[in-house]
Amino acid sequence: MPKLRVLITDHGFPNIRHEETTIAAAGAELVVAQCKTADEVIAAARDADALLVQWAPVNAAVIAALTRCKVIIRYGIGVDNVDLTAAKARGIAVCNVPDYGVHEVAEHAVSLALALARQLPMIDRRLRSGTWKITPDKPMPALRETTFATAGFGRIARTAHEMMKGFGGKRIAYDPYVTTEAMAAVGVEKVDLEQLFTRADLLSLHLPLTAETKHFVNTARLEQMKKHAIVVNTARGPLVDTVALAAALQAGVIAGAGLDVYEKEPVEKDHPLFACPNALLTSHVAWYSESSIPRLQQLAAEEVVRGLRGESLKNQVNK
């Protein structure tokens, strides 16, 4: 029997010690590539028993070329670069690692919301320009009088709600897959889609990207919101029609937006969002902390080993 072979198609980590240790302990060989194209993945991965993938494309052509692969693990939450349907048709499990940065992403979402609610970027720019003024330029509701809302009620959304609880405001959520009772148990009111947009003062998105959720935030829904409302997205970029969002920000339809993810990344230098002083923009860093990277690598390597051994997988996304 040939030795089991695990391929890291590509990565941007400082080192791969966690993968090396975990996979060697399972008796498998670890090979590292830095593939950028599908053809490069095919050349490197043809006889691999498992793939660890960061950004490289694993499309239908790649999957058709795999001769021994049992499992594909995506470093991170999104699996947009893996053809799930093609993998399922070949009997190859695809897994993500959704629990490595739950607290970090929730922290970032809440930080964006709070900074905008307190108008910190705007006041900072005003002060640097030479204006000393002890009141904000626009209305600033007290946090204890605001409604914090999440679209979605998974792990990250629940963590964000827990963080916001201390500020004393109302908390609501929209998620058709979570019961009213489950939300009420942690002090959150379940609402429908229209209520989500009409009642939210701070709206944080925590949804997967599907055909139904693309442009979940669009012109029509922005127009349903309060003029002092703030939208935050640390989930998937295409959840927001960012051109429509920029237009709404410039027209004063809503008060602010905090984005860490975009429809196209890197975000285009001439995107209209950059002309919006009430937009707080970060570069897909919500997942990061000094401990989140090694945690991601360790959890991904452990899932690979389960796949090689035929054990139950924790996070298969193409069942």
The span from the first CA to the last CA of the chain, in angstroms, equals 28
| Phi, psi of 286, deg, nearest 5 | -60, -30
- Residue entry with tokens 């979940």: 216
Check if the beta carbon of residue 98 is closer than 8 Å to that of residue 155.
yes
d(CA 125, CA 121): 6
Q: 129: which DSSP letter?
A: T
Closest CA to 107 of 35, 155, 159: 159
Cβ atoms < 10 Å from Cβ of 143:
18
Give burial (CB, 10 Å; 0-12/13-18/19+) of 56: buried
Q: Which residues have a Cβ under 8 Å from the Cβ of 89 and sit 6 or more positions away?
A: none
The residues carrying an active-site annotation are: 236, 265, 284
Query: Looking at the chain, how many residues does it have?
Result: 319
Q: In sequence order, which ranges of the chain are alpha helices (DSSP H)?
A: 17-25, 38-45, 60-65, 84-89, 102-117, 120-128, 155-165, 180-184, 193-199, 219-222, 242-251, 292-309
One-letter amino acid identity for 57?
Answer: P
